[in-house]
Amino acid sequence: MRSIQAIASLESRYRSRAGIAPLAISRSVSEIAKEAIFPSPPPQTLQAPLWLEGMDRFFDGDIWLFPTKRAHDFETVVSPKSFSFSLYNSKEAPVDLLSIIASNEEGMRLSNLVAPLSIPARGTKEFTLTAEPQGDLEIKTTFLFVFTHQSLLLRLHGLRAVVISLIPCGEYTEGEEWATDIFTAQNGKERRVQLCQKPKRFCEFTLTPDSSHAQESIEELISYALKFYCMMPLWFSSSTLKENTSSFTLSLDTKDKDFEVGGFVIVHQAIGFTFAKVQSLSPTTMTLDRSVTAPKGAKVVPLMKSTPDTSVNYSFFSRTGSWKIKMKELF
């Protein structure tokens, strides 16, 4: 590799032989050398973990909530599921927690934290939030922690949704029934009182597992549904995707189906399914709350929040047994 001085000398000789005036070089060789070398990449700065005492400038207020993100997803809750948090007082004096305001907290339990409470200087208070299986289908809980000079808002999300996605083996029926209280007098006259504003949907079907493992799975599903509830697909209202999709909006026929805005659906495929909430509907499209990837021909099935009827019939005539189940809608 030739030096900068050698390159300058060769250029001077060429100009002299060609009758070109010599090039006046007003810059030093070191300045030219700087331009001939590729610049180094900019240095990267890595932030090391900071001590609590050095983090004051990154937070607003005196109390910090750890983990620092203010929204947590419990995902699918089928048994008690907990998140642990801690409140840290960055001040050199105690700070008072005046109140805790919760909304949509059904099925959510706050442990080890009550108000009013004084958090000492540089002190930490740990607490736990537990989502129970019983409660609203959608978890949309907020906790507002009110302190002397600030407030912290914590949002919690999740679903309590167990889906019986097994396809019935036969004798599948869907229908509607009214809930009416009937009082019959001694003279034979009846007084009827309507117990609900719309009819309750139901479906009856038979499940026959093909293995002992599948039998155990069905037993667990029925046991869970009897204790809480489950989501039952309404197969007669299923619709088929008209084209391949990988988006929030699906192309399908929704006319005269049991789809509804705010309701839930599954996009049923050869292996597994996708669970989603309906945001909007038109006769030919459906928009969901999440992106779905599915091929043309995949089934989209509305879901009904339901519980088994008072009895579940079991038959021993097959190798693994079979169940005849009636699922009734829960409002």
- Per-residue pLDDT at 331 exceeds 90: no
Q: Which of 3-12, 33-42, 140-149, 166-175 has the lowest mean pLDDT?
A: 33-42
pLDDT of 36 reads 39
| Rounded Cα gap, residues 187 and 10, in angstroms | 127
Q: What is the mean pLDDT of the chain?
A: 77
pLDDT of 47 reads 40
Residue 226 makes CB contacts below 8 A (sequence gap 6+) with: 307, 308, 312
Q: Which of 34-48, 139-153, 220-234 has the lowest mean pLDDT?
A: 34-48
CA triple 201-278-224, angle to 5 deg: 50
| Rounded Cα gap, residues 84 and 66, in angstroms | 9
pLDDT of 189 reads 82
Average pLDDT over residues 90-118: 91
Average pLDDT over residues 14-32: 45
- Per-residue pLDDT at 226 exceeds 90: no
pLDDT in tens, 252-297: 999 888 899 989 998 887 677 888 889 999 999 999 988 888 888 8
pLDDT of 212 reads 66
